[in-house]
Structure 1
Amino acid sequence: MPPSDDSKAAVRWSVSAKLAGLSPERKREASVLACQLLEQQAVWKEAQTIFFYAPLKDEVDLWPLVQDALARGRTVCLPRFDTATQRYVACEVKDLGADLVNGKYGIREPGDRCVLVPLNRLDLILVPGVAFDLRGRRIGRGKGYYDRLLSLAGGLKCGVAFDEQILAEIPTEPHDITVDCILTPTRWIPPKSAPVVE
């Protein structure tokens, strides 16, 4: 049963219901389109140190771009959960086969052999979320891990979502960190003063 208010819990419930209606094939097709659209953007072409995420089944899968970035000699980072600080840290990944382990919540993350990368060295941070609005506000899964990471990160913060996850407006709290731009399979919502490529 859905929550009865306009809280973050209600938004999470509503968006989860929409995503549950998307077939795995539709999600794969949408992810391919999102990858293609991101590749056209100047922020992608210029970024040398890129922070990705390991996608869950209800998130846009940008994994082909991880492989492409590695092949092009870019620095690829993924989040690793630091149990001591209860925060995500950025770690460089050089070999997807050897460097990744199953981490917290079963999410693939860099193993201990991977080197920490200072958050202010990131050029582009690709951020999943449950929902975004057109002003860059984001609702995550409710633990605050990405908000804490984003509050310390340099570089352009890019929300990544299916079109069904973009809402007119979402509720936020003072600690919520906004993103600078948003990528969906059909739209690039750019940072102010950036050219739009569709």
Structure 2
Amino acid sequence: MARWEPNARERLVRAAIDLFAEQGYDATTVTGIAERAGLTKTTFFRHFPDKREVLFAGQELHSRTLAEAVAAAPAQATPLEAVAAALDALAATFTEDRRDFAARLLAVIAANDELRERAAFKHDQLAAAIAGALRERGTPGPAAGLAAELGVRAFDDAFARWSDPSVARTLTDLAREALDELRAALAALG
């Protein structure tokens, strides 16, 4: 690929996933990722601070999507209804062509302690975005935090299910189902 071709960021992400899957995270270098993408190491660093962050490229956009959807939920919506609207908004950004990528991403993360730690940090940041938006709506702190945690956990569960190619359902449907399961589990706690 010529260096001037569009979508450098996406090419770098795909190249990184390919190399991490083929040779492992530790054996993959930034130079190797850039070369696989048909780009330079300098171009890589224009987009990402290090090779770990290439796997978490959408975190800022995801946080913003979640917070904006919570803010846009109807005024009478309960905190969990606002969270459900946020999950719908985020799930809608994941197109079917990303399903194979999702499965490979989860496998790479599962195989590396550093990446699992970074995934936990992403989880916390997404929950913080939701909780902040819920507090802006007037939800008290503990309720906002709990609703946010349930929402991100539901999304993580749904994403893992959706990444399985044998599952023929949308991420939106799976996220709604996962949130409903967590609501039922919460209610069962009494």
TM-score, normalised to structure 2's length?
0.27
More helix by share: 2
TM-score, normalised to structure 1's length?
0.26
